[in-house]
Amino acid sequence: LLLPCVEITDVPRHRWRGFMLDVARHFQPVSLLRRYVELLALHKINVLQLHLTDDQGWRLPVPGYPRLTEVGGRRAESMVGPAGSTVFDGVPHEGAYTRRELTDLVAHAAAHGVTVVPEIELPGHARAAIAAYPELGTVPGRPVDVWTRWGVCDTVLGVHEPVFAFCRAVLDEVLDIFPAQHVHIGGDECPTTEWAASPAARARAAAEGLADTDALHGWFLRRVGEQLLEHGRTPVAWAETGEGLPPEFTVMTWREPEHTRIALKRGHRVISAQHRAAYLDYAQTGSPDEPPAQPGAVVDLPAVHGHAPPSEPGAPGELIGMQAQLWSEFAVTPAQVDRLVFPRLCAFADRAWHGSPSWSGFQGRLVAHSARLAALGVRHGPLHPHVTAPHRSGKEPS
């Protein structure tokens, strides 16, 4: 038997080629996470970021805080449609992972060349934690429910010392379960209205020498990040331009390309996660037959494949990679996850690995690759822009 010999020389364009899955708004079984590890590895995506906590759910067990999953892991119902809707489904939603499930997932991922990066949202997007332990809120003891809505919630963590004891306990468990160098601590969309109205928060800002309560946001992230740095880990934050953060923080930019350049100028390592090209919860086409998705934009295959993160030659920072995101307001079932993620993740992976902007070349490769997706049971979206993909049932994925 004679086999042809070939030597392949290939290196990735970016060392961080990531995919984030939001399991806080809609919980997904660990079987889906293990399957996605394998799909990511197939596409040379080497980071799976798990968005484990948010206003709508807490999925991580933490010793000493059982109510985080018992109370924070369950909400009474879910909003139907986008933020601002007045329609709710009336169906309780719940779920949490065990420590064993997460450690096994980390090992499974490592065997496939994928690093699992945990994300704990702080100090905003934390209503589920406050519902479980009201003493963590800006108004300690005030009861709130696990949020049933989408969008940005005004309820945020307080800035009193018990909150930081809580954060330390959470991160101690995170560090024990996840050996990844990077740990994401959230940081985005944190309204400061509660702090501005709180005498205790105003006193804390004054005691720390801060200009106002708005500055508590950066101060909070810096303080929490210190624990990670003490353990030799790297804190990551959705921090726009990196303002208020030390250069040891890795910044994940998502709003504007210019934010990436500013963060690079400030000396940060930066991961580009631009929402108009890498948020996979947006619709894939403008067709009226498009299944429900996040409104506000159409992120089709050409938009994903056409995106290249901005650079800033001579800046002290470093662009270390790219990441695609699936926020899960409209991804309830595994089939809905598949349809929103694929084939757009194929386009993202193509650019993240070798960076070729050739759309025609990618289209040819995608047609051939779609047979692999079909063999793997991936119920993907349209392979061509502005065309709605048929589903096996002829109906919306479920």
Q: Pick the catalytic residue from 38, 189, 290, 312.
A: 189
Strand-pair category, 74-75 with 57-58: unpaired
Q: What letters, b where the CB count within 10 A reaches 16 and e where it falls short, cover 209-237? A: ebeebebbbbbbbbebbebbeeeebbbbb
Assigned token pair, 387: 């065309």
Q: Pick the catalytic residue from 51, 125, 160, 182.
A: 125
Which is nearest to 290 in space by CA: 348, 339, 363, 341? Answer: 339
Cα torsion for 99, 37, 326, 67, to the nearest 10°? -10
Strand-pair category, 282-283 with 294-298: parallel
| CA pair distance 220, 59, nearest whole angstrom | 22
User: What is the residue whose two structure tokens read 């096994």?
Assistant: 104
C-alpha 206, offset from chain centre? 33
Other Cβ atoms closer than 10 A to 143: 9
| CA pair distance 193, 207, nearest whole angstrom | 19
Question: Is residue 189 flagged as an active site residue?
Answer: yes
User: What is the residue whose two structure tokens read 């993740």?
Assistant: 345
Q: What are the start-end ranges of the H helices in 80-156?
A: 99-111, 127-132
Which is nearest to 183 in space by CA: 136, 230, 216? Answer: 230
Overall residue count recorded for the chain in this entry: 398
Q: Pick the catalytic residue from 22, 54, 121, 194.
A: 54
| CA pair distance 330, 321, nearest whole angstrom | 26
Strand-pair category, 93-94 with 74-75: antiparallel
End-to-end Cα spacing for the chain: 48
| CA pair distance 398, 332, nearest whole angstrom | 8
| CA pair distance 43, 12, nearest whole angstrom | 12
| CA pair distance 386, 204, nearest whole angstrom | 52
User: What is the residue whose two structure tokens read 């801060």?
Assistant: 210
Tell me the catalytic residues: 54, 125, 189
